[in-house]
Amino acid sequence: MSDGVPSSEDVALGFAIPSHNARGRIVRLDASFEAILAAHAYPPPIARLLGEALVLTALLGSTLKEAGGQLTLQAQTESGVIDLLVADYRGGEMRGYVRHDAERLAEAPADPSLFALFGRGYLAITFDQTATGERYQGIVPLEGGSLAEAAENFFAQSEQIPSLVRVAVDEEDDRSRAAGMMLQYLPEGEEGRDRLHLRQDHPEWEHVRMLGETITGEELLDPALDLETLIWRLFHEEGEIRVLPPISLSRGCRCDAGHVERVVAQFSDDERRDMADEDGVIQVECEFCSKTFPVPLAED
C-alpha cells in the first residue's frame, strides 16, 4: 500500500481486488458538499438527500475514463414532495439541486422515506462521452429505502452487474459531510462482455460483498481514517489490492453570462418580450448555483 490519501480532502479513490474479480470506489465530500449546499436553503431531509445524490454521482462519474465525459443522475416524479433531483459530474466537478414542495415537506415525517419524498418515480443515470458523442442512459423505477438502494437496483436491472452501494451523510457540528463506497463484481473482462449470465450469489462476489457490508457510516465519514487504510481494513486478507490514483473533487457550476445569452437568443423576439420584466430585462436563474443573470432585450 502507498501513503494514505488525506481523508479531509474531497476525493474519489478507486481500487481493485483481482483475486475476486471485484472493483470498488470510495468517495468523501467535504468542502464541495458545503459549497453546493451554501447556494440553497434546503431543510435537513432535502440536504441529506442531495448529499446522497452527490456521493452517487461522484462514485459513478469518477469511473469515466474520458476527461470530458459527463455523468448525470436524475430522480423524478410527478406526484411526490420532490418532483426533480439532478446532480452531475464532469472532470471532478460536481453540482446538484432539488426542486421540492416546501408545504408538503412540512407535512411529511421528520425523517421521510424515499417513497414519502418521491412517491412512484424513476431513477435515470446518463453517461455522455464527449470525444465520441456517444450517450448511454439507463432508467429504472425509483425503489428501495434510499438512493443507494435505488442505485443497486439500477445496476442489477439496467447493467446486470452485482453491486453494493453504501452512502452516509453527516450534518452535525455545523459541518456537512458525505461519503460512500461502491463495490462491483466484473469477472473475465470488465468491458464489452455480455453480463446477463452473472449471478448475484456467485461465490467470488458473495465473499467480497459480505466484507463490504461490514463498512459503517462512521468509518466512511471519519476524517481521521484515510481511505487507503479503510480499504486495507476491509479487504487485507484477499491478497493483492490495487489502488488507483486519487481524483480530486470540487463544486463546479458551468453557468456564465455568455452561455445564458446564447440560450436566450434561441427564442423568438416575441418570446423574449414575454419573458422580460417591466424594465425590459430577462432574469435567468441557474437552479444549480442560484445565481441570476440579467439579459436586457436587444434595442431595436
206-235 per-position pLDDT tens digit: 899 999 999 999 999 998 899 999 999 999
Do 123 and 265 lie in a common domain?
no
Cell of 112: 421521510
Do 213 and 261 lie in a common domain?
no
Give how many domains the chain has, as a whole number.
2
Neighbouring C-alpha atoms within 13 Å toward the C-beta of 20: 29
**Does 2 reside within a domain?**
no
More confident residue, 192 or 237: 237
> Contacts for 205-214 with beta carbons within 8 Å, 24 or more apart?
205/20, 205/21, 205/22, 205/162, 207/20, 208/17, 208/20, 208/22, 208/183, 208/235, 208/238, 209/162, 209/164, 209/183, 209/185, 211/235, 211/238, 212/24, 212/164, 212/166, 212/181, 212/183, 213/164, 213/166
* Predicted TM-score (pTM) of this structure: 0.86
Q: Which residues of 34-68 are buried (b: 16+ CB within 10 A; e: fewer)?
A: ebbbebbebeebbbbbbbbbbbbbbbbbbbbeeee
Do 50 and 75 lie in a common domain?
yes
pLDDT at 298 exceeding the cut of 80: no
Neighbouring C-alpha atoms within 13 Å toward the C-beta of 236: 6
More confident residue, 114 or 132: 114
Do 269 and 135 lie in a common domain?
no
**Does 3 reside within a domain?**
no
Give the structural domain span for 145.
Answer: 11-188+197-251
pLDDT band at 133 (very low <50, low <70, confident <90, very high): confident
Cell of 261: 445569452
**Does 270 reside within a domain?**
yes
How confident is the model at residue 198, as a pLDDT? Answer: 40
